Copies of this chain bind each other. A is one copy, B any other.
Amino acid sequence: MNKIINKSIKIAIVGATGLVGQSFLKVLEEFDLPIDEYKLFASKKNAGKIIKFLNKDYQINELTEKSFDEKFDFALFSAGSNISEKFAPIAASKNCIVIDNSSFWRMKKNIPLVIPQVNPQDLENHSNIISNPNCSTIQAACVLHPIHQKYKIKRIIFSTYQAVSGAGKSGYNDLKNGINSYVNNTEYKLEKFLYPIFNNCIPQIDDFLENNYTKEEQKMIDETKKILHEPNLAISATTVRVPVFNSHSESINIELSTEFKINDIKSLLDISPGVVVHDDPSKNKYPMAVDCSGKNEVFVGRIRRDFSIKNGLNLWVVSDNIRKGAATNAVEILAYLLTGNIYNKKTLLF
Contacts and interface: CB of A to CB of B under 8 A. Distances in A.
Identical chains bound together, number? 2
Nearest to A315: B238
A90 to B, nearest CB: 35
26 contacts: A155-B308, A157-B253, A157-B308, A159-B159, A159-B251, A159-B253, A179-B182, A179-B183, A180-B183, A183-B183, A183-B184, A196-B290, A199-B243, A199-B245, A199-B289, A200-B288, A201-B318, A202-B288, A203-B251, A203-B288, A203-B301, A204-B284, A212-B302, A235-B308, A236-B308, A238-B253
Interface residues of A, number: 54
B156 A213 contact: no
A318 B306 CA distance: 24
Contacts of A253: 157, 159, 236, 238, 253
B199 A290 contact: yes
Interface string A247-289: 0010101000000000000000000000000000110101011
Contact of A201 (B156, B182, B204, B242): B242
A287 to B, nearest CB: 8
A183 B213 CA distance: 36
Interface string A13-44: 00000000000000000000000000000000
Given A199-B290, A253-B236, A304 B213 contact: yes
A316 interface: yes
A127 interface: no
A120 B290 CA distance: 44
Interface in A195-214: 195-196, 199-204, 208, 211-213
Contacts of A318: 201
A204 B280 CA distance: 12
A68 interface: no
Contacts of A180: 183
A112 interface: no
Contact of A290 (B200, B211, B238): B200
Interface of A: 155-157, 159, 161, 179-180, 182-184, 194-196, 199-204, 208, 211-213, 234-236, 238, 240, 242-245, 249, 251, 253, 281-282, 284, 286, 288-290, 301-302, 304-309, 312, 314, 316, 318
Contact of A161 (B161, B194, B236): B161
A69 to B, nearest CB: 43
A314 B236 contact: yes
A179 to B, nearest CB: 6
A243 B244 contact: yes
Given A179-B183, A316-B203, A249 B240 contact: yes
Contacts of A284: 194, 204, 208
A157 B236 CA distance: 12
B308 A212 contact: no
Contacts of A200: 244, 288-290
The 7 closest A-B pairs by CB, nearest first: A159-B159, A234-B308, A159-B251, A208-B281, A236-B306, A212-B304, A238-B251
Nearest to A214: B281
B204 A286 contact: yes
